[in-house]
Amino acid sequence: MRKLIVGNWKMNGSLLSNADLLRALRTGLPAEPAADVAVCVPFPYLAQVQGACAGGPIAWGAQDVSAHEAGAYTGEVSASMLRDFGCRYVIVGHSERRQYHGETDDVVARKAQRALAAGITPIVCVGETQAQRDQGDTEFIVKRQLAAVIHVVGHCVSEIVVAYEPVWAIGTGRTATPEQAQAVHAVLRAQLRAAVPNERRVRILYGGSMNAGNAAALLAQPDIDGGLIGGASLKADEFLRIIAAAD
């Protein structure tokens, strides 16, 4: 299975800085990278990224999608709108959405369902807080979050990407050790295996402060199929080094 490295720009960027970053990435990547590569960007920049990346090795996507198909939902962006911009991926259930916007497991599952219906691959984020880890609830939390998606999307779960992002390691500079990350990825892999016969099609990314220094050790683990990269994806040199580590 090819690794998948996805940059999550979060609420960062400008037309000028985006152009510089994408130019550096296109220049630095071989025509056929050893890993699949994508960037998930703020909604206003989808047209820019579509224009800059079309026909190249970098896929693109969004950072959220509405759980509704259409209607009077001011400020929401539907999956069909994302499809109009050629989005290959969309992040759903990121811990920041769960924490700051009150997204429940059910909402995340319905967003994944909307994405799949539009032909877009949802990157479904799961992960525990430090308090939950300290209480020994890591396995319970991540399995509950993934179970909600499996229940709603059914056999289509084989078409999703899962990202394990320990909340205590996001933007903190702290990172799960390769062994800690692998242990949770193995739990998620077993859960997927019980749900669908072709679970090896589902890539499970690690999403907690992966950087150029630790990427190789994390990506060497048997159930870590790539990375969901935050801050490091805004630095072309570092992002390229992470991609190279997936070779």
Residue 213 Cα to chain centre, angstroms: 20
Tell me whether residue 96 is one of the annotated catalytic residues. Answer: no
Q: Which of 94, 96, 103, 185 is catalytic?
A: 94
Residue 224 φ/ψ region, left for φ over 0, alpha for ψ in the -120 to 50 degree band, beta for the rest: beta
Q: Which of 103, 128, 165, 185 is catalytic?
A: 165
- Listed in order, strand segments (DSSP E) in 151-230 are 161-164, 204-206, 226-229
Integer Cα distance of 182 and 240 in angstroms: 23
Integer Cα distance of 6 and 122 in angstroms: 12
Tell me whether residue 165 is one of the annotated catalytic residues. Answer: yes
- Cβ atoms 166, 176 nearer than 8 A: yes
The tokens describing 146, both together, are 């993934």
Residue with tokens 């890591």: 138
Integer Cα distance of 161 and 166 in angstroms: 16
Integer Cα distance of 20 and 26 in angstroms: 10
- Cβ atoms 108, 25 nearer than 8 A: no
Maximum distance among all alpha carbons in the chain? 48
- CB count in 10 Å sphere of residue 67: 20
Active site residues: 94, 165
